[in-house]
Structure 1
């Protein structure tokens, strides 16, 4: 049942014959079939939902109480066919002139960038951690080193797509300058290079100590969260002076373990998780896409070309949480000037995948921006 039909049914039940005279008022967009009108409203950019709610009482009800509409705390998989949650790409980038950190959002349908409020962060480039909680529509900017100094900070800023604004949450238990971080089971897990770790519960709004990682320090090169685990790798270099190290944190047991050999030795780029699978964009050669095969403990090449050369480095990557239809998965590679390579990964043959790339050019005014992080949120 459509939203408008449901509303009419409620009104009829409450007001009887008299309410039938006002049925026309219940139309979302007069003259359009209900299903078409609903699709039109679902594609309104999330930045303007508060403004659109003032258009009419019907729009206000639809944008807040539509049956099945995704709320900030509802995972996309739990929603009905009507959903206000669409996957937007959020890209963090530094302006080399102003040295200010910016955040922009790419509309998945119009392929236009939306300007977001300034990021309340004075940390030096690359020193802080960024973690997205896609189902909540939130992004956390965590810790870092004060710009122009060497003092680590514990503060945490959070962006909410529901309000299109920034706020502050409880700071970490200890200041951290460089760290690995990711979402594990709806919580933010932060692991410092010293082995100490802590977990933030967004519902409770507080941090708790997590199990410490033993053994030698692991200098963060990249990190990814998948399957209830946070994977931290110190990366690769050729020729190897020593074998690369990696660690895995499992939330269910609050315990650390060593990363599988094939995973850590083949982790040669930036990782994105999409549809529960881990992919890396290689930093060498043709910037090919590889997928991790846990059963074989190896990174397998994805068929198709590498990231288009027109999307220049530095690259940051992000994956769309859910499949996009027909078992396909989506990977975003953001390059200099916020040019974006959108990769759609689908099955090519048994146990094989193939990626097709589409390039979305960044606006001319973004030409000097250098990306440092990307997240996909449902907003």
Structure 2
């Protein structure tokens, strides 16, 4: 049922149908086509577009609204539909090394232009805070950190809403934290400190809850990723490479920690992005080749197609689209200095020569570079997220 049809039904159900006509979204266009047109409007201007008519206002207000509770299967189907009708916007957080000011930009997927977002609240030092996106909710959380110019950790949390294009204060963490690992697991935000203490934020309830502590030696955050209902934290290799890196995995369903598999932690040699449910890393060495984690074999497999284009320079951050794109492909973004972006589209590789083992899927990546504006030349990215807005 289309939005306009649902609006009419809601009026009738409310007993207000007599003599009231719901205006078409775009006169002369089929309702389904009109809905897709409105879903392509830049989210930054939704407030303005809501003033066009009461029908536009209802559509732009209700379309991203949270649905009523559904059975798991129905909820999964509804989530897939909501993502397919939304557009993936790349959000990049970057510091100006001269002013030390943090700003957030969103890359429009059609025009490939960067859109400046409202200033990020707080004044935490670069890299000390965590950033977690909830793609299907259209929200980004900036969590904790260490005060600029000091060593005092903070509890504050700010949340950005794409629907409102604004920031607001969220419930503070139970414990001040800086330089923590964090990620979205099962629709909730999980943060874990180097000391093993962890907590979980439920966006529906708006509160933080304690999570099971991680036992054992401290694991400093080199990189972290969330996939398959788990948060993965690795300390990475460190010079002089005399000891294999440690790693830990938090299972949200069991509220428990376990040691990371050996092949995963020893092969995790770059920044990880999760795309279409799969974990990829952009290797820190050589040509910045892309690797995918094969859980069954506990190994990182090289993705064919070459490394990140050399136009994209360090420092860099990575992000992935939560859903698959057309044809079962997956999309990864590498944001480099000056907000130059390498967009990688990963697809199944065509068979060539000797076939791989029958249960191993080979992949290939194709890269496209989106150059940042000249005025962004000095910006250094510190985080990237993908939201469906």
Structure 1 alignment gaps of length 5 or more = none
The counterpart of 1:353, out of the listed 338, 341, 363, is 363
Aligned residues: 371
- Do structure 1's residue 160 and structure 2's residue 170 form an aligned pair? no
User: Matches of 2:77 and 2:106 in 1, distance apart?
Assistant: 22
Alignment of 1:59-70 (within 5 A): 59-65=56-62, 69-70=63-64
Asked if structure 2 preserves the Cα contact closer than 8 Å seen for 1:291 and 1:302, the reply is yes
- Do structure 1's residue 29 and structure 2's residue 10 form an aligned pair? no
Tell me the alpha carbon deviations over residues 357-376 of structure 1, each in whole angstroms, 9 at most, x when there is no partner.
Answer: 11111122211110000011
- Do structure 1's residue 41 and structure 2's residue 41 form an aligned pair? no
Asked if structure 1 preserves the Cα contact closer than 8 Å seen for 2:36 and 2:85, the reply is no
Asked if structure 1 preserves the Cα contact closer than 8 Å seen for 2:83 and 2:323, the reply is no
Q: What is the match of residue 78 of structure 2?
A: 78
User: Matches of 2:46 and 2:84 in 1, distance apart?
Assistant: 14
| Secondary structure class of the residue paired with 1:96 | coil
User: Matches of 2:326 and 2:341 in 1, distance apart?
Assistant: 21
Structure 2 alignment gaps of length 5 or more = 69-74, 351-359
Residue 314 of structure 1 and its aligned partner are, at CA, apart by 0.8
User: Matches of 1:216 and 1:304 in 2, distance apart?
Assistant: 39
Structure-1-length-normalised TM-score: 0.91
User: Matches of 2:128 and 2:257 in 1, distance apart?
Assistant: 24
- Do structure 1's residue 138 and structure 2's residue 135 form an aligned pair? no
Structure 1's 10 and 252: CA in aligned 2 closer, same or farther, altered over 3 A?
A: closer
User: Matches of 2:49 and 2:93 in 1, distance apart?
Assistant: 27
Q: What is the match of residue 310 of structure 1?
A: 311
Structure 1's 182 and 338: CA in aligned 2 closer, same or farther, altered over 3 A?
A: same
Residue 32 of structure 1 and its aligned partner are, at CA, apart by 4.2
User: Matches of 1:73 and 1:334 in 2, distance apart?
Assistant: 33
Q: What is the match of residue 125 of structure 1?
A: 126
| Secondary structure class of the residue paired with 2:205 | coil
Alignment of 1:4-15 (within 5 A): 4=4
| Secondary structure class of the residue paired with 1:151 | coil
Q: What is the match of residue 229 of structure 1?
A: 230
Tell me the alpha carbon deviations over residues 272-330 of structure 1, each in whole angstroms, 9 at most, x when there is no partner.
Answer: 11111000000111101000000000000001011111011111000100101211111
Q: What is the match of residue 374 of structure 1?
A: 384
Structure 1's 167 and 76: CA in aligned 2 closer, same or farther, altered over 3 A?
A: farther
Tell me whether 52-61 or 322-331 shows the greater mean CA deviation.
Answer: 52-61
Residue 49 of structure 1 and its aligned partner are, at CA, apart by 1.0
User: Matches of 1:78 and 1:6 in 2, distance apart?
Assistant: 16
Structure 1's 272 and 81: CA in aligned 2 closer, same or farther, altered over 3 A?
A: closer
Residue 35 of structure 1 and its aligned partner are, at CA, apart by 4.2
Structure-2-length-normalised TM-score: 0.89
Residue 204 of structure 1 and its aligned partner are, at CA, apart by 1.4
